[in-house]
Structures are given as structure tokens and as C-alpha cells.
Amino acid sequence: MKKLFGLMLLCAMAVGFVSCEKGGEGDENNFANHIIGTWATTQAFVGGDWIDIPSYSDTYATMSFYNDGRYYGDSELFGSGWGTYTLNGKILTTYFDGELFYTYTIKSMTNTTAEVTMAYKNTNVDFRLKKL
């Protein structure tokens, strides 16, 4: 239920997506290297503006990606517990208990920041992340 509530909250906030840091050609080859580590939500696009997501907010979440294809989410919003992931080009797909969880399209990614669109069923949510 929390997962659904969190998703609905972000879906209500998500209006569009604006990127302020674009990677150059060939950056998809680096996504596999950059994704490893722990990422935290920092901003969501709401009403035409990016708004900050403070660490005490219900929409704040962290996700950790490991070299062996494991994934850990610390909230219902991004999965609470251990799962797995695949990365195919700029498409990151997460699974919990072998079931598809969320799919993310990486818009841009450096070693420390990322802008992604999270897709769930027919809903897209745009947000920014920072590597912790």
C-alpha cells in the first residue's frame, strides 16, 4: 500500500522532465560503471519546476546497485529490500522476488548525478538523483 501511495504521490507531482546536464555521445557505455553505488532522490519535477526532496520527505529514497546484479531499495517507493536489476543501454529494469518492479530510462548520468524517468504501468515519474 505504501508503494502505491508513494507512486501516486510522485505521479501527481510529475509533469515533465528537464535535463540540465546531458552526457555526450557514447555515455550509455559508462552507465554500467556509473550505476554501481548508492543513489538518493534529490528533486522531482512539479508544476513546471524542479522541487527539492528533503531527506525527511516521504518521497526521499535511496537505491544501491551492486556489480553482481543485486539491488537494494530502502523504501516502498523504490522497493523495500533486496532485488535484482538488468541494464540494457539506458534502460534499467528492477525486479523483486523475480517479478518486474520498475523500469527506469536514464536521461543522463555522471559518476555523481543522474536524471531518470521511472515507469510503472502507464505512469512516468521524472526525478534527479545524487550518488552518496
Q: What is the DSSP string of 46-81?
A: ETTEEEE--TTSTT--EEEE-TTSEEEEEETTTEEE
Instruction: Return all residues near 28 (Cβ < 8 A) that are at least 6 apart.
Output: 89, 90, 106
The answer to whether 43 and 53 have CB atoms below 8 angstroms apart is yes
How many separate domains does the chain show?
Answer: 1
Per-residue confidence band for 27, with pLDDT thresholds at 50, 70 and 90:
low
Q: What is the pLDDT of residues 66-99, one digit of tens each?
A: 999 999 999 877 888 999 999 999 999 999 999 9
- Whether residue 132 is predicted with pLDDT greater than 60 in this model: the reply is yes
Beta strands in the chain (DSSP E): 37-46, 49-52, 62-65, 70-75, 79-88, 91-96, 99-109, 113-120, 123-131
Q: What is the pLDDT of residues 96-127, one digit of tens each?
A: 999 999 999 999 999 999 999 998 888 888 99
Instruction: List the CATH number of the domain containing 65.
Output: 2.40.128.540
Domain containing 68: what range? 2-131
CA distance 99 to 101: 6
The CA-based angle 117-123-128, given to 5 degrees, is 25
Q: What is the pLDDT of residue 75?
A: 85
